[in-house]
Amino acid sequence: MTETTKSKTDVIRALNDKLRQGRDPGGRIMITQGISVAGDSFVRDVIAAVQSFEDFGPDVESRWRALPHC
């Protein structure tokens, strides 16, 4: 990875984290109908879980799919 690519990756990562953690007042949160129909309390729980998630890594997708909800 070149220094320029690494720099772009770091910028994208920082922007994604800022939005995900609710620190971007200009960002939008999109809620699917499937999440929305579960009720306000569930939506708040999902948003809180996404905002606090920090366990990123190469196997994050396989670990996510292994959760009981999938």
Between residues 68 and 20, the one the model is more confident about: 20
Looking at residue 29, what is its pLDDT? 85
Residue in the block written with tokens 């996510």: 64
- Per domain, the residue ranges of the chain are 3-65
Helix (H) / strand (E) element for 44: namely helix 40-52
CA 52, 11, 31, 25 dihedral sign is positive
Assign 2 a pLDDT band (cuts: 50, 70, 90): low
Q: Contact at 8 Å (CB) between 43 and 31?
A: yes
pLDDT in tens, 9-55: 889 889 999 998 988 888 888 999 999 999 999 999 999 988 888 87
pLDDT mean over 49-70: 76
Q: Taking Cα atoms as reference points, which of 30, 25, 53, 54 lies closest to residue 43?
A: 30
What backbone phi and psi angles, to 5 degrees, belong to 14? Answer: -65, -40
